[in-house]
Amino acid sequence: MSETLVVRGGTVIDGTGNEPFEADVALRDGRIAAVGRGLPKGDQEIDARGKLVTPGFVDIHTHYDAQVTWSNRIDPSSWNGVTTVLIGNCGVGFAPCLPERRDMLIKLMEGIEDIPEVVLTEGLPWNWQTFPEFLDRLGERQFDVDVGTQVPHSAVRVHAMGARGAAREPATEADRAAMAAIVAEGVKAGALGFSTSRTIAHKTLAGELVPTL
């Protein structure tokens, strides 16, 4: 038997651009069932008077690429009303990746996002190589938010070209074909898109520019 939760008397900002309005919000089986004033009493009630009631926020620029592999809590975003995060931004991430190229991707994330190398080295399980395998590993986990992914260009370039990619050498026709196939495979597997970076501010701690520059 389903139960009803009523969030009572809050200021509703519904995300449509409408003016805020005071209302009750009833939820049944995890879905909004009704919005209005004076809704019937629910099996559970939350007094939201003086508080905002909003849809969950979508954070389209995060770097939880490592955290999603070891933690079920995607904090601090999930502490602050975020219910969906997008990873793989700025062209950096950890898939696809061959075992011998893990250090390259760790150094990129350490420098660009100031995440300590030791945290990444100790925390990443590396139980994938391809991007679809990375998505499979995430699919086996549970999170307190929804997680969307992008195929990160630096990882793709290093995967296809190795040290030549990291050193920003020109890609050959064969390199470009390989990278295109990797991106297509990732999107087909469920990535929402592709990300890259051309900013000179993105560097490793050693001062090396990103492979995608």
pLDDT tens track for 118-165 = 999 999 999 999 999 999 999 999 999 999 999 999 999 999 999 999
Indicate if the pLDDT at residue 33 is higher than 90.
yes
Amino acid at 194: F
In Å, the largest CA–CA distance within the chain is 66
The pTM assigned to this predicted structure is: 0.86
CA dist., res. 179 & res. 97, Å (int):
13
- Given the structure tokens 């150094």, which residue do they identify? 107
Q: Convert the pLDDT of each residue in 173-203 to its tens digit.
A: 999 999 999 999 999 999 999 999 999 999 8
Q: What share of the chain is helix, strand, coil (3-state, %, to 5)?
A: 35, 25, 45
Bridge partners (DSSP) listed for residue 34: 26
Burial environment of residue 87 by CB neighbours within 10 A (0 to 12, 13 to 18, 19 or more): buried
SS3 18: coil
**pLDDT at residue 96, as a whole number:** 98
**Confidence label for 1 from pLDDT (cuts 50, 70 and 90):** low
CA dist., res. 127 & res. 137, Å (int):
7
CA distances from 78 to 57, 59, 64, 137 (A): 9, 10, 12, 21
Burial environment of residue 7 by CB neighbours within 10 A (0 to 12, 13 to 18, 19 or more): buried
Indicate if the pLDDT at residue 30 is higher than 80.
yes
CA distances from 201 to 76, 126, 175, 209 (A): 25, 28, 26, 8
Bridge partners (DSSP) listed for residue 28: 4, 31
Indicate if the pLDDT at residue 2 is higher than 80.
no
How many of the other CB atoms lie within 10 Å of CB of 44?
11
Q: Convert the pLDDT of each residue in 80-131 to its tens digit.
A: 999 999 999 999 999 999 999 999 999 999 998 889 999 999 999 999 999 9
**pLDDT at residue 3, as a whole number:** 87
